[in-house]
Chain A
Amino acid sequence: MTVSTSTPPNIDRPLNVIVATDCGSTTTKAILIEKVGDQYRQTYRGEAPTTVEAPFEDVTRGVLNAIAEIEELSGRKILDGDKIITPCRDDKTGVDIYISTSSAGGGLQMMVTGVVQNMTGESAQRAALGAGAIVIDVLAANDGRLPHEKIERIRTMRPDMILMSGGTDGGAVTHVVEMAEYVAAAEPRPRFGVTYKLPLIYAGNKEAQPQVKKILEDKSALVITENIRPVLERENLAPARNKIHDLFLEHVMQQAPGYKKLIEMAGAPIMPTPAAVGLIMEAIAKREHLNLIGVDIGGATTDVFSVFDGVFNRTVSANLGMSYSVSNVLAEAGLPNIMRWVPFTIDEQTLRNRIKNKMIRPTTIPQTLDELQIEQAIAREALRLALIHHKSLATGLKGVQQERTISDVFEQQTSGKTLIDMLNLDLIVGSGGILSHAPRRIQSMLMMVDAYEPTGYTRLSVDSIFMMPHLGVLSTINEKAATDVFVRDCMVYLGTCVAPIGQGKDGVVCADYDITWPDGKTMKEQLRFGELRLFPLEASTQATVKVQPAKGVNMGAGAGVAVTQQVQGGVVGLLLDGRGRPLRFSSDQQSRVVALTKWFKAVELYPEPNVER
């Protein structure tokens, strides 16, 4: 199907059995969703290597293999040769719909242009990122590069698509037309396929449309849409995002091996994986009126999503990941930053060699506890760096006073301030192999707490087996099915982290706390600096926690002001973090190892013998 993703298909038949796949760059993951009684549940799961490479060069091969595994496990006949049986013929034959997302072949890679880098350039970047793309470069009139350097850059990069923006409606056209001339002169070639023209979206000053059309019409597959920044005070990203989705299906996916077949097989438009994950994150935030940060840490990239006061943002850190990009995490974070999370000493040469060996053989898994601890140390840094990147882009509009309905919430003195406010953050959602498949759930929780340093009261959760992409695309055709499965099978609540802001000497009182447990029992104790405490609190239960911070320590209401809140439990429980914010480490290696060992032991992060090393 090649309809716009902005207009999902109307399906009039009942959807009781759904099979969904996500074609990742290494594995294709399939899940079966069935209506059991009144509710939808995820029942079976299968996976197979993705087959976009030689010798198969047909993505549907991997899809069929993953579905075949579901067939074996469930006993339901879904495949008839190379076809998926739709709709259901009886209780044990067929499915009502097949849907899919895809990030295979390196995802959607885009280049964007604007006039002023941190105004229209950033708006274009946000539009592309929100649509699920990886932005490989941002060109702007003031990006510091000489014209011939810009042209050279466009020529050497081979994006899947270009988004051009610039100028407000009715403003000056010169700079926009100038950029169009550069793009035309560069004659950009698409990444896949030599026979088709590069898709190019123009979403800039409407006055410049005729000139842009004249310059670029013959050299690209030009699509003109509404200006993403019609006036300086307002962004209008939706039309450009929808066009990106449409062109992704019509042009880019058609070139990838086997995608024509996949599009025909699917009952709804194929979505880029990050766009689908973004949809589900946005849906959670809206439904529960939450401020949230979501992260999907993969092998090649780390995607960060945030919703603060209804404003959705997404960024992708293209070279931060746990396998293909693992070596880049080391290059960007630096060795000392990774080593600060490792509770033993290891010589630099050995560690460097190990990380590079993981890069060249990305499918291997840690076999010993040491190796697991090193991987989780790298994950903390990848998560931390990706959030820094996200904070720099998830900002208010720069150069102007914001004109948004929620503008009162933010200070108006400085424009372009980041929207990420850790004190107002309600929920952190983690997804991706290292978080979803950590041997102990506390490991996922502590990785996110260490990387994000949440302050005040923050709830944390993980995607149980990585099915958010599937549910994202499902939500476009059946909201109830997606919600049912999301609540019951996908989201695993880990618990709540309580962390006062401030720093102090180890052992000095950081805060007094009172906890009223679900059974009515109460507890009054003191949290000291350098301490980490974990209390079990079941997932469906709540406790009331009152924290009276010490002098100079803040729980969000001001220094020394007590804050009481009802906190939710989870499979891990209630974590009281007295390590201080921002987190600080001893520069002395031995004391650092002692501190880490103490924390890890306090929360039983790893099996006993090795923590003692």
Chain B
Amino acid sequence: MVAQAELPGKVFPVNLANQLSVAPGEIKDYLIKKAGEAVAKDEILAENKPLIKWFKTEIRSPVAGTIESVSSVTGQVLLREPPRVLQLLAYVNGAIVETIPQQGVVVETTCSLVQGIFGIGGETSGEIVMAVKAPDEPLTPSHITPAMKGKVVIGGSFLSADAMKQAKAVGVAGLVVGGIHDEDLRALLGYDLGVAITGTEQVGFTLILTEGFGTIPMAAKTFKLLSAHAGQKASISGATQIRAGVIRPEIIVPQAEAQTTKATQSQREGICCGDPVRIIRDPLFGRIGDVSALPTELIKIPTESEVRVLEVTLSDGSRVVVPRTNIEVIEGA
């Protein structure tokens, strides 16, 4: 736990003037409690003083809390519930290196980091367990065993709706796979996801896609990295936001200091020949290859648009020409 806060409680307005049938300006005369005082649930807030006792009206508090304000214009009393205590967990193991007043803390850890492309569900953690043997093997219900309860399960190319059900039944903490079908996502969420702002879904587990929608083998490098950390504790988050501040889902595996080597990645400028890339648009969606040429002039593609392109040599040796915006460089290679 890195922080604790008391979130202001919910507010409940009670219109005393209406309920007592008096003018808003007069409610002060009928109030039993004053602004700032605490009230219990069903405690009397105000009552009238009729000549005959039978006609007495008592207004009771619908909630326990304090009286926030009394308005003589609207005849309303605002009640506020007691504050809710929120404990904020650190999410990853590490050391606090900075405290930002009124905002948060910076946690530093030496770790392996894998960024996904899309996810659902919030922060969770668990031991990494490899459910499949190869990155192009789909994750089926038979792969998911009761022993995977509370763990982060790594699949291969595809996660079916049945496997999702099984994962939920078993109670896995998280699933990391290459792709899923949009239809299955819709069935899982119960609605069609319109805008990619996720992280608060409650579907029983956190789901991270590393490649996209459809059946797409997980990048070999990602699969290898995760395999290397099988058995270790990982912190994962499915939160994705592809607008106004891009957030991608992540898998963080904190390391003991001795195991790590200093990252040597230097600041790169643009794409270069020989860079490993992934094609991110149909008809070759998900294919991986190396950049083999970077023509500078604009080229007319089949849609008749003139765009900047590059040539990719795929793993089978074939060469394809792709618009530059339709590839992504595989980082850390």
Give A355 to B47 CA distance when docked, in angstroms: 61
A369: chain B residues at CB < 8 Å are 302-303
Count of residues in B whose CB is under 8 Å from the partner chain: 52
Interface stretch (choices A319-327, A337-345, A517-525, A532-540)? A319-327
Q: Which B residues are in CB contact (< 8 Å) with A357? A: 212-214, 280-282, 285
List, in ascending order, chain A residues with CB within 8 A of B103's CB: 194
Do residues B196 and A186 form an inter-chain contact, with CB atoms below 8 A? no
Partner of A364, one of B183, B246, B281: B281
> Which of these, A182, A195, A327, A367, contacts B195 with CB under 8 Å?
A327
Do B102 and A194 touch (CB < 8 A)? yes
**Beta-carbon contact of B305 and A365 below 8 Å:** yes
Contact segment of B6-14, B127-135, B149-157, B221-229 = B6-14
- What's the nearest-Cβ distance from chain A to residue B24, in Å? 7
When distances are taken between beta carbons in the complex, the residues of chain A under 8 Å from B246 are: 53
CA gap between A174 and B75 in the complex, in Å: 9
A611 within 8 A of B: no
Q: Which of A148, A355, A361, A371 contacts B280 (CB 8 A)?
A: A361
CB-based contact B280/A353 at 8 Å: no
Decide: B10 and A151 in contact? CB cutoff 8 A.
yes
**Chain B residue contacts of A366, Cβ below 8 A:** 281, 303
Tell me whether B69 and A368 are in contact (CB under 8 A): no
State the CA gap A186–B117 with chains docked (Å): 36
Let me know if B80 is at the binding interface, CB within 8 A.
yes
Name the CB-closest residue of A to B244.
A106
Nearest CB of chain B from residue A240's CB, rounded to whole Å: 23
Decide if B148 is an interface residue (CB 8 Å cutoff): no
CB distance from B257 to the nearest CB of A (A): 25
Majority DSSP secondary structure for residues of B touching A: loop
Contact with B along A539-551 (1 / 0, CB 8 A): 0000000000000
Q: Is the CB of B243 within 8 A of A324?
A: yes
Q: Which of A104, A147, A348, A437 lies at the interface centre, i.e. has the most chain B CB atoms within 10 A of its CB?
A: A147
- CB of A330 within 8 A of CB of B192, answer yes
By the criterion CB–CB under 8 Å, are A173 and B212 in contact? no
| Complex partner residue of A177 from B68, B74, B183, B196, CB under 8 angstroms | B74
Which chain B residue shows the least CB distance to A335? B192
Q: How many A-B contacts if CB must be within 8 Å?
A: 160
B71 and A177 within 8 A (CB): yes
Produce 1/0 per residue, A359-400, CB < 8 A to B. Answer: 111111111110110000000000000000000000000000
A324 surroundings in chain B (CB, below 8 A): 195-196, 242-243
Number of A interface residues at 8 Å Cβ cutoff, please give it.
59
* Residues from chain A with Cβ under 8 Å of B117 in the complex: 360-361
B282 in contact with A368 (CB, 8 Å): yes
A332: Cβ under 8 A from any B Cβ:
yes
For B240, list chain A residues within 8 Å (CB). 360
The chain B residue sitting closest to A104, CB to CB, is B244
Contacts of A363 in B (CB 8 A): 325
CA distance A263 to B80 in the complex (A): 42
Which residue of B has the minimal Cβ distance to A318?
B195
Q: Which residue of B lies closest to A208 (CB)?
A: B73
The answer to whether A186 and B282 touch across the interface, beta carbons within 8 angstroms, is: no
CA distance A185 to B70 in the complex (A): 12
- In the complex, whether A15 has a CB less than 8 A from a CB of chain B is no
Chain A residue numbers with a CB within 8 Å of B74 are 174, 177-178, 181
CB of A433, distance to nearest CB on chain B (Å):
11
Q: Are A367 and B181 in contact (CB under 8 A)?
A: no
State the Cβ distance, B104 to closest chain A Cβ, in Å.
10
A211 at the interface (CB under 8 A from B): yes
A317 to chain B, nearest CB (A): 12
Most buried by A among B11, B214, B283: B11
CA of A178 to CA of B78, assembled, Å: 11
Question: Are B281 and A147 closer than 8 Å at their CB atoms?
Answer: no
Of A147, A325, A332, A607, which contacts B13 at CB under 8 A?
A147
**Closest beta carbon of chain A to B202's beta carbon, Å:** 16
A360 CA / B102 CA spacing, docked (Å): 33
Tell me the minimal C-beta distance from B267 to chain A in angstroms: 10
B302 touches A367 (CB 8 A): yes
Chain A residues with Cβ under 8 A from B185's Cβ?
356
Instruction: Find A371's partner among B13, B281, B328 (CB 8 Å cutoff).
Output: B281
Q: Does residue A352 face the partner (Cβ distance < 8 Å to B)?
A: yes
State which of B71, B281, B323 has its C-beta within 8 Å of the C-beta of A181. B71
> Given the complex, which residues of B lie within 8 Å of A319, measured CB to CB?
194-195
- Nearest-Cβ distance from residue B152 to partner chain A, whole angstroms: 21
Do B13 and A181 have beta carbons less than 8 Å apart? yes
Given contacts A352-B182, A359-B242, contact A367 B303 (CB under 8 A): yes
Q: Is B44 an interface residue (CB 8 A)?
A: no
Q: In the assembled complex, how far is the CB of residue B240 from the closest CB belonging to chain A, in whole angstroms? A: 8
Contact B13 A148 (CB under 8 A): yes
Query: Do A353 and B323 touch across chains, with their CB atoms under 8 A apart?
Result: no
Decide yes or no whether B220 CB sits under 8 A from chain A: no
Q: Is A331 an interface residue (CB 8 A)?
A: yes
Rounded to whole angstroms, the CA-CA distance of A25 and B241 in the bound complex is 13
Give chain A interface residues in 167-223, CB to chain B under 8 Å.
173-174, 177-178, 181-182, 184-187, 194-195, 211
- Contacting residues of chain B (201-246) with chain A, CB-CB under 8 angstroms: 212-214, 240, 242-246
Q: Which residue of A lies closest to B193 (CB)?
A: A327
Would A148 and B11 count as touching, CB distance under 8 A? yes
The reply to whether B244 and A360 contact each other, CB–CB distance below 8 Å, is no
B57 interface contact, C-beta 8 A: no
B304 in the interface (beta carbon within 8 A): yes
Q: A361 — nearest CB in chain B belongs to which residue?
A: B280
Asked if B68 and A185 make an inter-chain contact with CB atoms under 8 angstroms apart, the answer reads: yes
Considering only CB atoms, which chain A residue lies closest to B209 in the complex? Answer: A360
Query: How many angstroms from the CA of A330 to the CA of B195 in the assembled complex?
Result: 11
Given A353-B182, A364-B325, A178 and B305 contact (CB-CB distance below 8 Å): no
Residue of B nearest to A299 (CB): B243
| Bound-complex Cα distance A173 to B72 (A) | 12
Residues of B75-132 contacting chain A, CB below 8 A: 76, 78, 80, 102-103, 117-118
Q: What residue in chain A is nearest B116 (Cβ atoms)?
A: A360
In the complex, whether A165 has a CB less than 8 A from a CB of chain B is: no
Does residue B330 face the partner (Cβ distance < 8 Å to A)?
A: no
8 nearest CB pairs, A to B: A328-B194, A106-B244, A439-B304, A352-B182, A353-B213, A331-B192, A364-B281, A372-B303
> What are 24 A-B contacts with C-beta separation under 8 Å?
A25-B243, A25-B244, A52-B245, A177-B74, A187-B8, A331-B192, A348-B183, A352-B213, A356-B118, A356-B193, A356-B213, A357-B280, A357-B285, A359-B196, A360-B117, A360-B118, A360-B212, A364-B281, A365-B305, A365-B326, A367-B323, A369-B303, A439-B304, A607-B304
Given contacts A25-B244, A439-B303, 20 further A-B contacts (CB under 8 A): A106-B243, A148-B13, A151-B13, A152-B10, A181-B13, A181-B76, A184-B69, A186-B11, A324-B242, A354-B213, A355-B182, A357-B213, A358-B281, A360-B118, A360-B213, A361-B212, A367-B282, A367-B323, A368-B303, A371-B303
